[in-house]
Structure 1
Amino acid sequence: MALVPVLLILAFCTPAAAQNNRGVWMWSSPSHPYGGSNVLGNSVKEAELIADFGAWNFDRIYASYGAQVLNDPPIVANWNASLDDVGMRSELLLGLVDFSPTSISNLVQTRLIDFNDARTDPREHVDDVHLDIEPHGSNAWKNGTGTDKRDLLYKLRDTYTAVRATLDQGGYPEVKIYADLPVWYDSTTAVSWTRGDRTQWFADIGVALDGITMMAYERSTLSSIQNGISWEVANFNGDIRVGLNVAEIGPGNTFADFEAVMTLASEIEAYYGTDITGVDFHAVIDYIDEAPTPTFNADFDVDGDVDGADWLALQRGFGILSGATSSDGDANGSGSVNVSDLVVFQEQYGQTLLTAAFVVPEPCGTLLSLAVFVGEFVFRGGLLFRTARICPTGVSFP
């Protein structure tokens, strides 16, 4: 509980601001040390990865839990709570090629509804559903006629509708549904449907879905992204995100290096602004392999320690969405100042926070000092704020 009062007062004293807007797919990937099956349940790796998520400006994680959500639900619940504590959403990722409305609805029933029903702490809940259903990868599509392909997309539409009904009837109307789509489903030649059929299909899925991620793979320029998603941006009634494939890096591939991926992501965000809701990256294991290792430093005034002066820098900068530097309170190099930076500060904090907070007459300073005092009192009573759990070395207030 040590940081709860601080977070509440920071929220009160900071103008409303949007969350980070990047997401990542996290598959079980058992052969990779940071595949989901090797991270969940490993407290050190969980802490490391969630800290990295903050540095990378991720605010939503699309996680495929496999049988883990059924066989060891406390592990998934703990992971969800740890994400929730730093303002990140946990989305149940279901990826299938062969599917039916019934089979997908059954998965949502057992892996979200039944799972959430068994959790008394809402922080442990799965927040949303993320469907990566790809009928175009099936033999029925590859060997089918134009009519067969169109019928598969109608089955996909009906599956989205069935999942929405399952959630509503199961008591979770607030749970959102997102889906991954290739950029060419709007093509009248690739799918063999009329423009009217195409327009109606997207209108239909927009009733069940809250948003779509356009999988803009093998596209390295902003103009190629525009060419791929312009119809959806203009016509789809819901959130639109753009998916980039971090695995497409290297000689002869889509991107020369990781920096080229990040440059394109920034160009997409700058060009589309609020016309899209963010950029997603596939997949986390590739992102980890390619991205520079984040550094974490809450010594914002560069005086050799982390103390009350650094707390004030964090207080002033809290809520900055982009362009932040270390002097603004950016502890993880993300360019923003948010709860992830507060967690770094909590881990590295020295011995003088209370004194400095009380003596400097800042707006909201008294409230913040009181919040820290209350947080310290609760901490001494043994009720440790959940966020501290993602710091491997622990937390010690004076």
Structure 2
Amino acid sequence: MLLKTFGWSFAVTALGLVAAVFYGGWTGFGIVAILSILEISVSFDNAVVNAGILKKMNAFWQKTFLTIGVLIAVFGMRLVFPVVIVAISAQIGPIEAVQLALDDKDKYQQLVTDAHPSIAAFGGTFLLMIFLDFIFEDRDIKWLGWLERPLAKLGKVDMLSVCIALIVLLVSAMTFATNAHQHGGIHVDMTETVLIAGIAGLITYLIVGGLSGFFENRLEEEEEREHEAEEEAKKSGKNVPAVVMAGKAAFFLFLYLEVLDASFSFDGVIGAFAITNDIVLMVLGLGIGAMYVRSLTVYLVRQGTLDDYVYLEHGAHYAIGALAVILLVTIQYEIHEVITGLVGIVLIAWSFFSSVRRNRRLAAAEGTDTVSNEKAEVSSGV
């Protein structure tokens, strides 16, 4: 099971590290290894959230997510995205941006650093909406009940998460953006840029979330029709192509996962520039990390880990909220990537051990009930 799920990740790791040695020697090997660990640490919450969505898909789409999806993640976010943000911020063509990344790494890093406030505002607002929509939803299972119960009641107010996100964005623009960090340690006023980027992130979330909700409902409807068709087929002796029926709506959930992965990748891509400005080493390191994140997502689904450890999803969403705040703060202040990664790991580890304690309590309660029932049977002479 482990080799089947992580086999591609192991293979990509070996090839990536060998390529790093040929390209940059043992220094390149070390940089790629560090970047891989960085990507895994800051994206673990991504795997947990993705697993919650991926478990709704069939085996075909899970495999597609692990193969075609990872190509989109590696070449889309880890290669194309750094080039695109430089092209937009510097108002140059994409080909010129690639040449700049390969020939003038210092200038390329400067342009990416200068574009960071708008990237942080976009990604921070998008991730903040994911967190807010999660904590304002009334759930049967609550992790931090003292906090989640009152928030679930507040969540009955329409558009509350959007209002809060806009307030947070406005406060960020009026505080952090007025003294935004730029290359060389200078600070400039980027209030308008941050506001526009944050609103773009909010609009993107509403569009993506709306489409996701619509197609999730379509998927449930198709599953119900599929079940009815199977019952009819049993009576008539015909077969129903279940994979095709499930695949129509699952395709759009797959697209949603790709957009979600892109939003999670902001901190990893930006953080990579603190380690290297060599785009080749960056793609190798972040690509290896992205493979493990995807393999971990599939592993969580196939092992049913989210069903066994019910607070993991909560911990991941709290980590998302923390990451959103960190991104907005980095508009003005530099925060080390180690801190970003540790925050997510601590929250998820906390939720994991909370789940373990919950399972032990339930097991002990079931054992007590079993003993009580056996004693009752003995006393009644059964």
Q: TM-score range by the shorter chain?
A: under 0.3
Query: Of the two structures, which has the highest relative contact order with CA contacts closer than 8 Å and spacing of 6 or more?
Result: 2
Structure with greater strand percent: 1
Q: Which structure has the greater CA radius of gyration?
A: 2
Normalised TM-score (structure 1) = 0.22
Normalised TM-score (structure 2) = 0.23
